[in-house]
Chain A
Amino acid sequence: KAGVTQTPRYLIKTRGQQVTLSCSPISGHRSVSWYQQTPGQGLQFLFEYFSETQRNKGNFPGRFSGRQFSNSRSEMNVSTLELGDSALYLCASSWTGGNQPQHFGDGTRLSIL
């Protein structure tokens, strides 16, 4: 069974631009969560989607948004990029979320110039 797939693996953007990251969960998994990982802050929860609805949200500004499609694939969008948005963005999927273990992708490394 294929694991969680994130594309692209690397991305370079400049301040003010916007970016869209994609995540394909493990087949059958309906919950997709997104995290931002930085050396200073560690892994920080962005949001979780389940059945095309945002079910949980972390403490990130509205510039960070996401969506989930009917096939459970998810996209994350960041608008008006700032230098501080440079990070590894991880996606994780699980059957239903909650107390289910999460399966992580390799991440998308976003660099802002």
Chain B
Amino acid sequence: AQRVTQPEKLLSVFKGAPVELKCNYSYSGSPELFWYVQYSRQRLQLLLRHISRESIKGFTADLNKGETSFHLKKPFAQEEDSAMYYCALKYIFGTGTRLKVLA
């Protein structure tokens, strides 16, 4: 069965610290993976997708098929990064991780 697991409900880091939001998936085929973000009082929006291999707002995510992971990383967190982050395998979403960046 397809599944997406985000083990952390809440992640608090200090401004300037590195951030890693974990995402593991379960899928037998070739995965189509996305990270979506929801800022306060805004719509859920795409942050990045694995096929584009791009960096958005300083975030990157690398697909590791061996570990079935798609962790989201940023070297230096900023206060405006505080938001809810969802990992998605096509239409299957994880439960989300709330990132709080402390001043």
Chain A residues close to B by CB (< 8 Å): 3, 33, 35, 42-45, 48, 56, 58, 90, 92, 98-99, 101-106
CB contact under 8 A between A101 and B49, given known A43-B86, A106-B43: yes
CA of A102 to CA of B75 in the docked complex: distance in angstroms? 27
Task: Tell me which residues across on chain A come within 8 A of B94, comparing CB atoms.
Answer: 42
Chain B residues close to A by CB (< 8 Å): 32, 34, 36, 43-46, 49, 51, 86, 90-96
Task: Tell me which residues across on chain A come within 8 A of B45, comparing CB atoms.
Answer: 103-104
- Out of A3, A33, A42, A106, which one reaches B91, CB within 8 Å? A33
In the bound complex, do residue B91 and residue A99 qualify as a contact, i.e. CB atoms below 8 Å apart? no
In the bound complex, do residue B46 and residue A43 qualify as a contact, i.e. CB atoms below 8 Å apart? no
In the bound complex, do residue A42 and residue B96 qualify as a contact, i.e. CB atoms below 8 Å apart? yes
- Closest approach, in angstroms, between the C-beta of A39 and any C-beta of chain B? 10
Task: Tell me which residues across on chain B come within 8 A of A44, comparing CB atoms.
Answer: 93
CB contact under 8 A between A58 and B91, given known A101-B34, A106-B43: yes
What residue of chain B has the Cβ atom nearest to residue A106's Cβ? B43
- Closest approach, in angstroms, between the C-beta of B97 and any C-beta of chain A? 11
In the bound complex, do residue A99 and residue B49 qualify as a contact, i.e. CB atoms below 8 Å apart? yes
In the bound complex, do residue B43 and residue A105 qualify as a contact, i.e. CB atoms below 8 Å apart? yes
CA of A48 to CA of B77 in the docked complex: distance in angstroms? 35
In the bound complex, do residue A104 and residue B43 qualify as a contact, i.e. CB atoms below 8 Å apart? yes
In the bound complex, do residue B93 and residue A43 qualify as a contact, i.e. CB atoms below 8 Å apart? yes
In the bound complex, do residue A45 and residue B91 qualify as a contact, i.e. CB atoms below 8 Å apart? yes
Q: Which 4 A-B pairs have the closest CB atoms?
A: A43-B93, A101-B46, A42-B95, A45-B91
In the bound complex, do residue B34 and residue A104 qualify as a contact, i.e. CB atoms below 8 Å apart? no
In the bound complex, do residue A98 and residue B32 qualify as a contact, i.e. CB atoms below 8 Å apart? yes
Residue among B34, B91, B96 with the highest chain A CB neighbour number at 10 A: B91
CB contact under 8 A between A45 and B92, given known A104-B43, A104-B44, A105-B43: yes
